[in-house]
Each structure stands twice: as C-alpha cells, then as structure tokens.
Amino acid sequence: MKKICFFISSVELAGGTERVCSAIANKLAELGWQVSVLSMYGDVSFFPLRSEIQVACVFQKKQSSKFLPYTVFKIRGLLTTLNPEILVSVDSAMFVYAFVSSWWLGIKHLVWEHFNFHVSLGSRIRTIARKLAAKYSAIIVTLTVGDKEEWKTNLKCKSKLVTIANPSPFTPMSVELINRKPVVLAVGRITYQKGFDRLLNAWKTVTLQIDTNWKLHIVGSGEDEQLLSEKVEALGIAASVRLIPRTANIKSHYMESSIFCLSSRFEGFPMVLLEAQSFGLPLVSYNCKTGPAEIINDGNGILIEDGNEQLMADALIKLMGDRELRTEMGSRSLRNSHKFDINVIVGQWTALLNTM
C-alpha cells in the first residue's frame, strides 16, 4: 500500500470537509494504507482518527499569510519527515502551499475540491490555486459531475479530472423503524449561503394556504441567528417554527422528522441531503449549484427552480398532505443512500489512488 498524506486547513474544525476527510482517512488506514494528516494549524482532530494515523501540524494556532516564506519552510520540513508518495490537498486553496513546499520532493499531487468552481468565499488564494492545480496537479477530484464540467469549461486542465461524491456518515436506517412526527427539517450553519431566509418566506406561504399542525425545525448555529430569529417574528410564524442550536445529536432530528428541505443559495456537495436520505426522508431542495440535482434524481424528492419560493411552498404542501407519497419517496431515498455508503466511496478512492 502507498503512503498518503491529507493536507488540510485544520483538523480541529468541525465542518463537513473535516468530517469527510477523517472518514476517508480512517477507512484507508483500516484497509492497510499508510495514512498521515498534515494540518496547517492545530493537531487535535475534532473527528476521531485511528491510532495509526500520524497527525502533524504546521502551527498550533492560526497564522497570517504574511508568514508565507516561513510557512513554506515548515511545511517542507514536515513533508520530508512524513515522506508521503501522494499528497492530497483537501480544498483547492491548500494546493498553493502544497505545490511550492514540495518542489523536487518527488511527491504526486491530488487536489480534492470541496466547493463548487464559482465559489471562492472571497479568497484570492483559492482562485490562484485552482489555476495552478489545473496545470500541475496529477488529479483533481470534484464532488459532482457538474463541477467537473465547470473546471473543464473555465480552465485549460492538464490534470486528470475525476468525480467522487462524499460518503454519508450514517448507515441507512429502515423507514419502518422510525417514529415520524409532522416536522419539516432543515439543517445547516445559520448563514447567508444556506438560504434559511428563503425557506421562512416559503413557510409563511405554507401557513397561509393550509391549516396544519406541521412544524418547521431549523437546526444550526451561525452568524445570522439573530437575523433569522427576527425574521420569524416579523413574518408572524413563531408558533410553527423552531430554531434549534447546533447539536451533536443531529441523528435524533432526522429520525423524528417527515420531510427534509434544503434552501441553499449554493453548495459544493450538500452533505445534509445524504444524511437525510440515510434516514429515509423525502427530499425537497432548490436546484442550486452544485449537488442537489445529482442526489435528487431517482424519485427520492422534489427539485425546485432555484429561488422560487412559491414552488418551494407548493412542494412542501404537496408532501405534507400525502403520506403515501412521503413513504414512496422516503423508500427511494433509502435505496439511493446505498450509493453513498462509505465502502462504495472508498472503493472509488482506492481505485483512483492505485493509478498514481
């Protein structure tokens, strides 16, 4: 087995990127690969890593980019010690550091993109890194076919482009074992990207069109919590909406709900849709870039024109009023979730890594 190192911004973060990286790293180590993780800052992983995985960090605390020359020197030293055959930049932005720091070390590069091509989050480094990766990385892994096409269209890629979806962190659970409540569930960071303001507008329409005991639960924390709370009050929907802080026990919310809704303005690959599928939930989602259209494609949910709040309301009303339809879509969700099983996804990773 080859030696592989995952180069990530920080193992201490608790986001989807870090969770998926930990899951893939653990599974590869379990299969006998020699796995290490190089963290730009922090060396205590939020998500558990197997004991045989070596974790190293460049800095204990986050540093400013003005330390770039010293940063490159430190990364190079750590790469010399870890001595990987393959270096995976987890997020294209990391490739700037990986490429410069590993010059002449004989390391093969793979870039694992976690955002869609048109999202840089204001990072000029990410834009530069994508151009470098297209030319100098051996392989670029995107999470969706749609994003792979964006790379092809917008950059002259010498690198091999491959699509591998993220795995679901949950084992599929039979619909019959779940005690459902009349709840529409949404999960995510309370921020502009996730579009919960759009969901509240649609929910207001729902409450005006039907008299129902259904509730909307939004689970998450973030910088826009106060704004979202104020919007709930302004719309007069507080009686049917619960804003629930981020929780480590998100599984219980999936198990108790009857419909899952995604209202994001953009995504890289919406992990919450994979999670909801694993619990047999019918899905309702805006067709934002990128990911929803590659998950909701087998009768497992309803894909809505991006930003059309009336159509979102109509879809929710339709599902809320038709238990048989919810059951059918939920069964299809459960069936579709097996395509994103960790063993299936890691099989794709090992096949790809063995070509390098």
pLDDT at 64 over 80: no
Mean per-residue pLDDT of the chain: 93
| CA-to-CA dists, residue 206 to 231, 241, 313, angstroms | 16, 12, 6
**Higher local confidence (pLDDT), 270 or 177:** 270
pLDDT digits (tens, 9 = 90+) for 335-349: 999 999 999 999 999
pLDDT at 215 over 80: yes
* Among the ranges given (17-31, 72-86, 175-189), the one the predictor scored with the smallest mean pLDDT: 175-189
Q: What is the mean pLDDT of residues 17-21?
A: 92
CA distance linking residue 65 with residue 288, whole number of Å: 32
pLDDT band of residue 68 (cuts 50, 70, 90) is confident
Highest mean pLDDT among 109-113, 116-120, 244-248: 109-113
Buried b (16+ CB within 10 A) or exposed e, 62-79: eeeeeeeeebbebbbebb
CA distance linking residue 331 with residue 337, whole number of Å: 10
**Higher local confidence (pLDDT), 121 or 257:** 257
What pLDDT is attached to residue 87? 98
| Share in percent of the chain as helix, strand, coil (round to 5) | 45, 20, 35
pLDDT digits (tens, 9 = 90+) for 272-286: 999 999 999 999 999
pLDDT digits (tens, 9 = 90+) for 279-327: 999 999 999 998 999 999 989 999 999 999 999 999 999 999 999 999 9
pLDDT band of residue 65 (cuts 50, 70, 90) is low
**Percent of the chain whose pLDDT exceeds 70:** 97
Nearest to 287 by CA among 272, 258, 266, 268: 266
Q: Which residues contact 182 (CB under 8 A, 6 or more apart)?
A: 212, 213, 214, 215, 258, 320
